[in-house]
Amino acid sequence: MATTRGAGSKRSQEAAETRENILDVAMREFADKGLAGARIDEIAEKTNSSKRMIYYYFGGKDELYRAVLERAYERIRRQEQAAQFETLEPVEALRAIVGHNFDYHFEHPEFVRLVMNENVHHGEHIAQVAGIKGRNQSVIAQLGAILDKGVAKGVFRPGIDPVDLHTTISALSFYNVSNRHTFLHNFGIDFADPAYRAKRREQIVQAVLGWVQAR
């Protein structure tokens, strides 16, 4: 019981803090500049510890990036599961899910940018992260349940694939964060403007509901 290196020891707690601190900094850097653009030296400098610790805890740049990616996915899935949309009526549930999804993207641009970056790298790193794949099924299951209930109640039309619904919701939410900079330059619209954001949120809710609802 008196081990100095047990799970609850002071040492291991400090170690966990160091790890978390590195992950925090690395997430910011990778999200900001991408995997190829981020610099290990710069990450280390912004950390409370040193470059050596990055290698000690994570092994290398790519492994650190994967740990960051995994944590980012964990967080969005945890949030999605925390909300209890199933208790709501189908239309209200979907409205809440779309709004929540839009908000999450908006408030977590690091997540969006990490996913963009991962696609730039042809998804080669996410493929090496165990445990991301499985967690995603619950989102689909959740949407499937709501769709079923809505169809049964006659408020949604049948034949909507829950994966397609998720794709539509994500696409509309994602774009408003991912393409912020080029859109601002090309059309002079600032996706980050609060007034615009509120308006766009409602538009997306309407577009998704309109597509799913029975006529």
Partner DNA sequence: GATGAATGAGTGTTCATTCAT
Partner DNA sequence: TATGAATGAACACTCATTCAT
Site residues (CB under 7 A) for DNA?
A: 4-5, 9-12, 14-15, 18, 38-41, 49-53, 55-57, 59-62
3-state secondary structure of 213: strand
Q: Which helix (H) or strand (E) holds 181?
A: helix 180-187
- Give which of DNA, its own copies, none residue 172 binds (C-beta under 5 to 8 Å, depending on kind): its own copies
Please identify, using beta-carbon distances, which residue of 22 and 165 lies nearer to DNA: 22
Binding site for its own copies (CB under 8 A): 33-34, 36-37, 113, 115-123, 126-127, 132-133, 136, 140, 163-164, 166-168, 170-172, 174-176, 178-187, 189, 200, 203, 206-208, 210-211, 215
Which amino acid would we find at residue 6? Answer: G
Q: Which two tokens stand for residue 100?
A: 């929540």
Please identify, using beta-carbon distances, which residue of 12 and 203 lies nearer to its own copies: 203
Contact 97, 138 (CB under 8 A): no
Please identify, using beta-carbon distances, which residue of 21 and 197 lies nearer to its own copies: 197
State the nearest-atom distance from the C-beta of 133 to DNA, in Å. 25
Please identify, using beta-carbon distances, which residue of 95 and 166 lies nearer to its own copies: 166
Annotate 80-146 with DSSP letters as a single string.
Answer: HHHS-GGGS-HHHHHHHHHHHHHHHHHH-HHHHHHHHHHHHTTTTTGGG-TTHHHHHHHHHHHHHHH
